[in-house]
Amino acid sequence: MTARGGDRDLVVAVIGGGTNCEHDVSRASARAAIGALGSRGFATVEVTIRADGGWELNGTRSSAGEAMSRLEACDAVLPLVHGVGGEDGTLAALCELLEVPYVGSGVRAGAVAMDKALTKVLADSWGVPTAPGRVVRPRDIGSIDWAGPVVVKPVAAGSSFGVTLVEHPRDLDVALEAAWLMGGAALVEKRMAGREIGITVHGGEVGAARATVPLEVVTDGIFDSSRKYDGHAVFQVPAALTDDEEASIRRHAITVYEALECEGPVRVDFFLTADGWCLNEVNTTPGMTEHSQVPRMFAAEGVSYPELLERIVRSAIGSRSSRMPAAAQ
């Protein structure tokens, strides 16, 4: 079976795993993507970064050198390692060095978006509202003025690991310790009371980006890691918004996407409060199983999960190949 539009099987390396707390989530995305790409006629190579930092190719342990050689020989790479060591620009940098086209945002966009504090600074400068907050490190313990309730989260982690809603001052230190374990710095933000709405932006060049229909996360309390993965998450897509509200979230999301110079599908999460929209975070490597939020948004627009995977891979091959040195093509 030949990938559509080609005279031979296109070979895509799908990278999953990683050494951070999102290892299992990433593996699930990678396995699902491999199945979907196979159904569209692509040949795939399963590349896994084990929790201990070692490498596997198609389930067999390999050296880093063997893994690099295999990646270099592929037509494209689909990096699905969430969090530090993947989503933060690390794998984008690796693909750049190997001169192989890859899906998703480049090094700088991944690095900045992974840092929630830097993302807030950038968003504020472009007129996108964010929640009041501050970065807290272990050396700052005891110097925080309580203005709760607050949400404490790691500066650089995903899937809501290490996120705690703190409603009493006595619980703040424990929440900070949990966040620090995930990355060394914590972001303490005012809790924003409102609806949780996500939207996917995709494209590349400035002016070409477009947004999908938005999705609402229906939950009581904060949408933490247990609610995300215990099977009880409820998603309403499209989210029930007025025309003005939808136009506004699209505008804010595309602004952030273009300011960060993102590429590929990126999920941008907001709160809709009584005062309007408030940016929560930007996910440059969002979950990519068929039941993840981004595929659900595309499905609501009539794009199936396998078709979505084919689209983003072909887009990466086309856009990045055109920018690579002729000798590398």
Task: With respect to residue 75, please indicate whether it lies within any of the assigned structural domains.
Answer: yes
For the chain, the C-alpha Rg in angstroms (whole number) is 20
pLDDT tens string 169-225:
888 888 998 888 877 789 999 999 899 999 999 985 555 899 999 999 997 655 454
Can you tell me the mean pLDDT for 143-151? 79
Give the number of other CB atoms < 10 A from CB of residue 229: 15
Task: With respect to residue 139, please indicate whether it lies within any of the assigned structural domains.
Answer: yes
Q: In total, how many domains does the chain have?
A: 3
Which amino acid is present at 145?
A: D
Residues 126, 273: one domain? yes
State residue 204's pLDDT score: 55
pLDDT band at residue 2 under the 50/70/90 scheme? very low
Task: With respect to residue 17, please indicate whether it lies within any of the assigned structural domains.
Answer: yes
State residue 1's pLDDT score: 42
Task: With respect to residue 162, please indicate whether it lies within any of the assigned structural domains.
Answer: yes
pLDDT band at residue 146 under the 50/70/90 scheme? confident
Residues 142, 82: one domain? no
Residues 126, 210: one domain? yes
Which contacts qualify for 240-245: CB closer than 8 Å, 24 or more apart? Answer: 240/216, 241/197, 241/214, 241/272, 245/272
Can you tell me the mean pLDDT for 94-102? 96
| CATH number of the domain where residue 39 is located | 3.40.50.20
State residue 70's pLDDT score: 97
Residue 268 region by backbone torsions, left for phi larger than 0, else alpha for psi between -120 and 50, else beta: beta
The 10 Å CB-count burial string (b at 16+, else e) for 117-132 is bbbbebbeeeebbbbe
| pTM, to two decimals | 0.88
Q: Is the pLDDT of residue 328 over 90?
A: no
Q: Is the pLDDT of residue 120 over 80?
A: yes
State residue 207's pLDDT score: 57
pLDDT tens string 262-320:
999 999 999 999 999 999 999 999 999 999 999 999 999 999 999 999 999 999 998 75
Can you tell me the mean pLDDT for 118-139? 92
Show which of 190, 218, 233 is a domain's final residue. 190
Residues 276, 315: one domain? no
Q: What percent of the chain has pLDDT over 70?
A: 88
Q: Write down the mean pLDDT value for the chain.
A: 89
Tokens 């999460």 -> residue: 269
Give the number of other CB atoms < 10 A from CB of residue 235: 17
> Parallel, antiparallel, or unpaired: how do β-strands 76-79 and 11-17 relate?
parallel
Residues 229, 317: one domain? no
What does the alpha-carbon distance between residue 99 and residue 81 come to, in Å, rounded to a whole number? Answer: 19
**SS3 track for the chain:** CCCCCCCCCCEEEEEEECCCCCHHHHHHHHHHHHHHHHHCCCEEEEEEECCCCCEEECCEEECHHHHHHHHHCCCEEEECCCCCCCCCCHHHHHHHHHCCCECCCCHHHHHHHHCHHHHHHHHHHCCCCECCEEEECHHHCCCCCCCCCEEEEECCCCCCCCCEEECCHHHHHHHHHHHHCCCCCEEEEECCCEEEEEEEEECCCCCCCEECCCEEEECCCCCCHHHHHCCCCEEECCCCCCHHHHHHHHHHHHHHHHHHCCCCCEEEEEEEECCEEEEEEEECCCCCCCCCHHHHHHHCCCCCHHHHHHHHHHHHHHHHHCCCCHHHC
Residues 171, 278: one domain? no
State residue 101's pLDDT score: 96
* Domain of residue 150, residue span: 133-190
Residues 116, 210: one domain? yes
Of 132 and 140, which is predicted with more confidence? 132
